[in-house]
Amino acid sequence: MIIPVILCGGSGTRLWPLSRQSYPKQFVPLMGERTLFQASALRLSGKVGGLDFAPPVVLTNSDFRFIVTEQLAGVGIDSGAILIEPEGRNTGPAVLAAALHVARTDPEAVMLVAPSDHVVTDLGAFHAAIAQGLSAVADGKLVTFGIAPTHPETAYGYLELAERPDGNGAPVALSRFVEKPDAARAAEMLAAGTYLWNAGIFLVKAADIIAAFQTHAPDLIAPVSAAVEAAEPDLGFLRLAAEPWADAENISVDYAVMERAGNLAVVPFSGGWSDLGGWDAVWREAGPDARGVSLSGNATAIDCDNALIRSESDRLEVVGIGLNNIMAIAMNDAVLVADMSRAQDVKQAVSVLKGRNVAQATTFPVDHRPWGWFESLVIGERFQVKRIHVHPGATLSLQSHVHRSEHWIVVSGTAKVTVDDEVKLVAENESVYIPLGARHRMENPGKVPMVLIEVQTGSYLGEDDIVRYEDVYARGQGAKG
């Protein structure tokens, strides 16, 4: 049995404005109805292609923990363990923590470590590649997967093989890792036939990868081991201990172990793969038409060539006229327009926006919570209007505000509302007023989503103006807890 280890703590800034720190690309339905995270979990679940997958171990952060469980439940997958990283320390500590956790039960367990934001189009070929790697794992190898390049890509690292692949997918010895090349070098490596893209996917025994860390990155062992040993259960999650975790070096698993280990094997894969590392990759995977145009959402193209035009809002129509090699992505609160060749520079734009403290740099317009989500419709001086969606059976915390009052109007479903000592049902087209300082709570007692419009008024309308008294999600104080 193979234990999938799914890493989903990244921010995906090159896919801004759709991917942001508060809601990154792995949780967004970029390609189809399912999110990238859901698709990743599904292709590593159940018995398929002669493989038997255990429930996944997921590593994420505190803000994403309920998104992870909600999205797994949405595709019928029960998670094995969800490890909460106190802070991002890159993939090195994350992979080691997963291995130590798995080794508690079975040191010989086989782990497939995979990012949560990749696209794999040929699942049969992918599962066959995993099966090819199992023989090398049985011989004590650390197996990585290399993607047969389809073009001279400069956004990926490469794997140089000791020999040309045999064409049957058999594991090949790795010669060395190669950093992201310039365009000329990428073209040379494509022509050579002995270089593959580094997919960042690994197949290893828990004991073998731990031994590799002990040999090549011994300074990580003590802090990560202490963080795992002192981890505390929290509503079905496992929170790694923050203090020792903070002492772990911020380093990728490639730099920490893989580039130094001598027992690596590479399984070549040519079944269609992308890490969607930029909007140009999304354009390629979306299947542009004969003129190279890809449209999504409320988008229209007139006399355009080699263009990506996406509207991520049902309230915005995006029209491109005479565009050539342009990508245009529009959301309610931000629009990106850039030359397709500058796709990797979107990350720089996010850095500039962060430097100006622009909220759109990091904050997604829809704020997801364990009970549902909300979005701001209008923000003005001393007032804000929100649309709030509460899942069936979900309950917000019992709370109060120091600086604002609220007026709730139910537009769909029925709300069970607590205001100080009064509890009542508020039906569709009815409203209730929440005075400043009142203890209040909203619940959805029904079996359909409940939607309401909230009008806030006051001197300060920030999400951190919340004092929680009770919370079924144990979030503590603060904007999200």
Residue 460 structural domain: 366-470
Q: Is residue 360 part of a domain?
A: no
Same domain flag for 126 and 161:
yes
Q: Is residue 286 part of a domain?
A: no
Q: Is residue 481 part of a domain?
A: no
Which regions of the chain are under pLDDT 70? 478-481
Measured distance CA(239)–CA(69) in Å, rounded: 15
Measured distance CA(262)–CA(277) in Å, rounded: 29
Q: Are strands 273-274 and 119-120 parallel, antiparallel or unpaired?
A: antiparallel
Q: What is the tally of structural domains in the chain? A: 3
pLDDT in tens, 433-453: 999 999 999 999 999 999 999
Q: Is residue 478 part of a domain?
A: no
Same domain flag for 374 and 346:
no
Same domain flag for 22 and 132:
yes
279 and 298 Cβ atoms separated by less than 8 Å = no
Task: Using the 3D structure, point to which of 303, 330, 355 is the last residue of a domain.
Answer: 355
Same domain flag for 56 and 148:
yes
Query: Which residues, other chains included, contact 356 with Cβ-Cβ below 8 Å and sequence gap of 6+?
Result: none
Q: Is the dihedral of CA 50, 122, 61, 63 positive or negative?
A: negative
Task: Using the 3D structure, point to which of 247, 274, 301 is the last residue of a domain.
Answer: 274
What pLDDT score was predicted for residue 480? 63
DSSP 34-64: S-HHHHHHHTTSEEETTEEEPPPEEEEEGGG
Same domain flag for 152 and 257:
yes
Cis peptide before 17 (omega within 30 of 0): yes
Give the global pTM: 0.90
Query: Which residues, other chains included, contact 139 with Cβ-Cβ below 8 Å and sequence gap of 6+?
Result: none
* Token pair 């990012």 in the structure block, residue: 115
pLDDT in tens, 194-212: 999 999 999 999 999 999 9
Measured distance CA(444)–CA(446) in Å, rounded: 6
Task: Using the 3D structure, point to which of 274, 306, 332 is the last residue of a domain.
Answer: 274
Same domain flag for 183 and 318:
no
* Token pair 């007139």 in the structure block, residue: 302
Same domain flag for 309 and 454:
no
Same domain flag for 263 and 298:
no
First-to-last CA distance in the chain? 36
Q: Is residue 361 part of a domain?
A: no
Task: Count CA atoms closer than 13 A to 116's CA, side-chain side.
Answer: 29
Same domain flag for 39 and 181:
yes
Alpha helical stretches, state H, 217-268: 218-229, 242-246, 253
DSSP 170-208: --EEEEEEEPPP-HHHHHHHHHHS-EEEEEEEEEEEHHH
200 and 257 Cβ atoms separated by less than 8 Å = no
Q: Looking at residue 211, which CATH number applies to its domain?
A: 3.90.550.10
